[in-house]
Amino acid sequence: MLSAVDLAAIWLTFKLASLTTATLMVVGTPIAWWLARTRSRIKALVGAVVALPLVLPPTVLGFYLLITLGPHGPVGHLTQSLGLGVLPFTFAGLVVASVFYSLPFVVQPLQQAFEAIGPRPLEVAATLRASPWDSFFTVIVPLAKPGFITAAILGFAHTVGEFGVVLMIGGNIPEKTRVVSVQIYDHVEAMEYAEAHVLAGGMLLFSFLVLLTLYSRKGTSVWK
Amino acid sequence: MKIQGSYLLAGLMFAASGGSVQAAEVQVAVAANFTAPMQKIAAEFEKDTGHKALLAFGATGKFYAQIKNGAPFQVFLAADDQTPAKLETEGDTVPGSRFTYAIGTLVLWSAKPGYVDEQGAVLKKGQFKHLAIANPKTATYGTAAVAVLTKLGLLETIQPKLVTGENISQTYQFIMTGNAELGFVALSQVMLDDKLTGGSAWIVPTHLHEPIRQDAVILVKGKDQPAAKALIDYLKGKKATTIIQSYGYALP
């Protein structure tokens, strides 16, 4: 039912979403923590930048990424001088783009979780002479666990659902940048509706199950 | 609603005042490679006839799917002759309206001056990381590009370096931004007033691929629409054909 190309696209999408989510948990946690705790005047500024992908069309993000990551852009100059080449048309490029694109889906649930905990548990931990790192991992992480799970699920699912950005900087290369959403688009354009149905139906089912799981978890606010 | 009403009123008054032609709108699906010339032609068309052409640009394969699924296009300017012919046999066009409006020219192009030589030997040297083509499954210029690479016996070696644009405009975008060093695009995209707009190019000899005959057709939704008929006639006229040729297209 699924061709080798389709399977390759599914595997690639899974790899991309996993790697993106892992990166986002590492990058997003300190940002969310800072946003939840800071009284800095630039809090609103950082919060707004993080939330931009929620409202920007993927074409805007894709267009700027294509230019800044390209050989004449600032990031392109940097990656070239490091001997890494340029990022568009590579799997690494898709990961970078996806991290930007899915950033708010990870940062915002984490920020909400951290804010809900409040400063009290950390103060208590400090009186018990726990170091800041120690108290973060032994106090905050367990308390914010539902937030971490929500953030990971949303980050993963949103990356799977990515299309416009990948289309603009991916170059549609099998096993490197041709993810499921692009493969579906190709099938539809080539009028291969039967193949499109299999993948599109699978995507619909997957997304529904993810959200169902998310909303079925008791006692956690998912999203505001 | 108010605005629409006043337009309607103005239209009625115009009709009543004995205006010889009723100005109308025509919705046109245009192959991406024909974007620049069509914008010029549409502007002239509006000046000369009063009719307004609303243009949508994209890949021919996508337009086919949209037309089959009820898209409101009245005229279709395709990037090939097969798709309009197919629509004709399937009864989606006005019989007898199909004609070749341009013959496309494929070009190997780089945004860098001096990068592509005039014989296209750069292809054989293979000292590039990415070569951009349009999706050969859905875009005529992509199919032609693959035919050229096959004929030159280079498809297998170049295959890992191919990046595919969704249509010919995106392919151009990949090359223009330097992300792909070179690629196959339509001559019309890199040519203006019989001159290359920048970079370097090899105009691919026509014996290396099937001729890119681009056909136009009036769709069923454009039946008995004077503006649709007027546009097709206009495309055959002197003004339009001069514009078409200035972008490097041949005429049948």
Q: What is the pLDDT of residues B51-88, one digit of tens each?
A: 999 999 988 888 888 898 888 999 999 999 999 999 99
Q: How far apart are CA A183 and CA B55, in angstroms?
A: 27
Note whether B166 contacts A173, CB cutoff 8 Å.
no
Instruction: State the pLDDT confidence band at B13, using cuts at 50, 70 and 90.
Output: very low
Instruction: State the pLDDT confidence band at A220, using cuts at 50, 70 and 90.
Output: low
Note whether A171 contacts B65, CB cutoff 8 Å.
no
Beta strands B106-110 and B99-104: pairing type? Answer: unpaired
Note whether A88 contacts B61, CB cutoff 8 Å.
no
Note whether B174 contacts A167, CB cutoff 8 Å.
no
A86: chain B residues, CB-CB within 8 Å: 179
Least confident of A12-26, A164-178, B179-193, B209-223: A164-178
Into which CATH architecture does domain A4-216 fall? Orthogonal Bundle (1.10)
A87: chain B residues, CB-CB within 8 Å: none
The dihedrals phi and psi of B37, each to the nearest 5 degrees, come to -60, -35
pLDDT tens digits for range A83-111: 888 899 999 999 999 999 999 999 999 99
The alpha carbon of residue B219 and the mean position of all alpha carbons in its chain are separated, in whole angstroms, by 17
Q: B15 vs B88, which has greater pLDDT?
A: B88
- Model pLDDT, residue B84: 96
ipTM of the complex: 0.77
Among B177, B181, B182, B184, which would you mutate to test the A interface (most chain A Cβ atoms within 10 Å of its Cβ)? B177
Note whether A191 contacts B64, CB cutoff 8 Å.
yes
Q: Is the pLDDT of residue A224 over 50?
A: no
B138: chain A residues, CB-CB within 8 Å: 186, 189-190
The alpha-carbon radius of gyration of chain A (Å, integer) is 20
Q: How far is B167 from chain A (nearest CA, A)?
A: 11
Into which CATH architecture does domain B2-103+212-246 fall? 3-Layer(aba) Sandwich (3.40)
Q: What is the mean pLDDT of residues B150-171?
A: 94
* Local structure of B131: helix, strand or coil: strand
Q: CATH 3.40.190.10 region(s) of chain B?
A: 2-103+212-246, 106-203
A72: chain B residues, CB-CB within 8 Å: 177-178
If you classify domain B106-203 with CATH, what class do you get?
alpha beta
- Model pLDDT, residue A159: 96
Encoding tokens for residue B162?
A: 């191919």
> Where do the domains of chain A lie?
4-216
**Nearest chain A residue to B176, by CA:** A67
Instruction: State the pLDDT confidence band at A13, using cuts at 50, 70 and 90.
Output: very high
- Model pLDDT, residue B16: 45
pLDDT tens digits for range A142-156: 999 999 999 999 999
- Point out the residue among A71, A167, A173 whose CB comes nearest to the CB of B178: A71
Contact indicator for A219, A147 with CB cutoff of 8 Å: no
pTM: 0.81
Note whether B179 contacts A70, CB cutoff 8 Å.
yes
Q: How far is CA B136 from CA A210, B79, B115, in A?
A: 35, 12, 24
Question: Mean pLDDT, chain A, as a whole number?
Answer: 91
Q: Which residues of B touch A (CB under 8 A)?
A: 59, 61-62, 64-65, 129-130, 132, 135, 137-138, 162-166, 170, 173-174, 177-180
Encoding tokens for residue B127?
A: 């000292």
The alpha-carbon radius of gyration of chain B (Å, integer) is 20
Instruction: State the pLDDT confidence band at A49, using cuts at 50, 70 and 90.
Output: very high
**Nearest chain A residue to B66, by CA:** A189
**A177 residue type, one letter:** T
The one-character DSSP state at B186 is E
